[in-house]
Amino acid sequence: MSLWRWADMLTPVPESARITLGEGNTPLVKSRHIGPDVGLPNLHFKLEQGNPTGSYKDRFAAVAVSRLVATGKTCCITTSSGNAGAALAAYCAAAGIECRVAVFEGAPAGKLTQMLAYGASVARIRGFGTDPATTTTVFRRLKQLGKRPTAALQVSAFAFSPEAMSGIKTIAFELAEQLPQGMDHVFCPAGGGGLCAGTAQGFAQLQQRGTLVDAPRVECVQPAGNDTISSPLRAGELRARRVAGTSRISGLQVPVAVDGHLALTACRESGGTGHVVSDDDVWEAQRRLARQEGIFTEPAGAVALAGLLKAIRDREIQPEATIVCIVSGSGFKDADAINRMNQDVACPLMEPVELADW
């Protein structure tokens, strides 16, 4: 089973051109400890690290590469902070298509090696993802490369690849199936904003079809160092903004708006708002997910929970609410984050001990 079971609700792709690695249909698990500890008996986690390459970006890549196959393209040009590049590299490998990735400067080595393992051509660009001017220049160059006859630019953002981003909506479709009794809030991490926008659009599409009565509030959570959307959303502003890009949370280091305006509008229309958290909040949420729930995620995947915990502290969430936090990617992708999470633990793999002392 793959996301193509929703084909009639996605960008049309001929069945013969559809590429799948079994993406989608990820688990939804109820919190055993964190929820009860903070007074939320109906907290759930959507485990997107269950996708083939370890993140929700596989939903985008499946549609993106299938469209390349359908249109006869032989080269995929893309940019990534890590997960989207790995996803596109994998699906391009399955389709027999060349993949070239311009990577954010701060991308973890684990994500780069994953792309290389799939056979992608990878270049880390200095200043990309941290400096707004450099980031804008890189995107302009990528657009030029994507205009070559045999190539196509595929970026995991509605601003660049709206057709392929329809795959993100399947998160909402699945949640509506997994929680047929409904939900009140869905907390999403945001870098460029595409996950927030796609999730909100998915719920809205279900409402338009008459298969969902009450859509949840889609809540946008960002690290303070990349607060392009959350504060403007909370302040009632109409547009996202550029920032300096100082957060160390890999995957969310997007200092320009990208899908920010779209995400801001979509979240507001759903009744959701913005939440800003510190990097320390995120790392603590990552640690709690691992040690209290058995959920091993990269820091970006803990951002939604960090936002929820802050909202609880600020008394913005009703205790009886049904809440979903999207856990967007696997912890195996970021070795530095793993080391940070384990810095308070003496690791027996590093310092051998006698069996009698164990």
Instruction: For residue 150, give the 3-state DSSP assignment.
Output: coil
Give the CATH number for residue 107.
Answer: 3.40.50.1100
Query: Which one of 131, 153, 175 terminates a domain?
Result: 153
- Cα angle for residues 55, 57, 63 (degrees, 5° grid): 140
In a domain, 349, yes or no: no
d(CA 91, CA 61): 7
The number of helix segments (H) and strand segments (E) in the chain equals 12, 10
pLDDT at 346 over 60: no
The answer to whether residues 301 and 333 belong to one domain is yes
d(CA 203, CA 313): 27
Q: Which residue pairs, CB below 8 angstroms and at least 24 apart, start in 235-242?
A: 237/264, 238/264, 239/264, 240/193, 240/264, 242/132
Sheet containing strand 323-327, edge to edge, reads 28-30, 43-47, 323-327, 185-189, 217-223, 274-277
d(CA 354, CA 358): 7
Tokens (6 digits) for 13: 């792709």
Eight-state DSSP code of residue 276 = E
pLDDT at 46 over 70: yes
The answer to whether residues 130 and 169 belong to one domain is no
Beta-strand pair 28-30/43-47: antiparallel
245: left (phi over 0), alpha (psi -120 to 50) or beta: left
pLDDT at 348 over 60: no
The answer to whether residues 273 and 206 belong to one domain is yes
For 189-218, write each residue's pLDDT tens digit: 999 999 999 999 999 999 999 999 899 999
Instruction: Go through 211-240 and write b for each residue having 16 or more CB atoms within 10 A of its CB, e for each that does not.
Output: ebeebbbbbbbbbbbbbbbbbbbbeeeeeb
Instruction: Go through 309-333 and write b for each residue having 16 or more CB atoms within 10 A of its CB, e for each that does not.
Output: bbbbeeeebeeeebbbbbbbbbbeb
- Which of 230-234, 253-257, 334-338 has the highest mean predicted lDDT (pLDDT)? 230-234
Percent of the chain with pLDDT strictly greater than 90: 75
Average confidence score pLDDT of the chain: 92
Eight-state DSSP code of residue 17 = G
The answer to whether residues 26 and 129 belong to one domain is no
Provide the pLDDT for residue 148: 92
d(CA 261, CA 151): 28
Query: Can you give the residue range of the structural domain that contains 68?
Result: 57-153
The answer to whether residues 108 and 244 belong to one domain is no
Provide the pLDDT for residue 244: 82
Comparing 71-80, 104-113, 343-352, the range with the smallest average pLDDT is 343-352
Average pLDDT over every residue of 47-60: 97
The answer to whether residues 35 and 63 belong to one domain is no
Provide the pLDDT for residue 125: 85
The answer to whether residues 284 and 176 belong to one domain is yes
In a domain, 292, yes or no: yes
Provide the pLDDT for residue 136: 82
Count structural domains, the chain. Answer: 2
pLDDT at 36 over 70: yes
pLDDT at 332 over 60: yes
Query: Which one of 153, 181, 206 terminates a domain?
Result: 153
Task: Give the model's confidence band at 349: pLDDT under 50 very low, under 70 low, under 90 confident, else very high.
Answer: low
Instruction: For residue 75, give the 3-state DSSP assignment.
Output: strand
The answer to whether residues 127 and 105 belong to one domain is yes
Task: Give the model's confidence band at 345: pLDDT under 50 very low, under 70 low, under 90 confident, else very high.
Answer: low
294: left (phi over 0), alpha (psi -120 to 50) or beta: left
**Cα-based distances in Å from 310 to 187, 217, 275:** 12, 16, 8
Provide the pLDDT for residue 82: 82
Provide the pLDDT for residue 126: 86
Provide the pLDDT for residue 347: 53
The answer to whether residues 234 and 311 belong to one domain is yes
Tokens (6 digits) for 193: 């904003």
The answer to whether residues 214 and 147 belong to one domain is no
In a domain, 351, yes or no: no
The answer to whether residues 32 and 105 belong to one domain is no
pLDDT at 357 over 80: no
Amino acid at 282: V
Provide the pLDDT for residue 350: 59
Q: How far apart are the first and last CA of the chain?
A: 44
In a domain, 348, yes or no: no
Task: Give the model's confidence band at 109: pLDDT under 50 very low, under 70 low, under 90 confident, else very high.
Answer: confident
In a domain, 350, yes or no: no
In a domain, 159, yes or no: no
d(CA 246, CA 254): 10
The answer to whether residues 241 and 195 belong to one domain is yes
Tokens (6 digits) for 54: 């370890």
pLDDT at 69 over 90: yes
Distance of CA 219 to the CA centre of its chain: 14
Structural contact between residues 111 and 118, judged by C-beta atoms closer than 8 angstroms: no
For 285-303, write each residue's pLDDT tens digit: 999 999 999 999 999 999 9
Beta strands in 61-144 (DSSP E): 75-80, 98-103, 121-124
Comparing 37-41, 73-77, 287-291, 336-340, the range with the smallest average pLDDT is 336-340
Which helix or strand (DSSP H or E) is residue 92 part of? Answer: helix 83-95
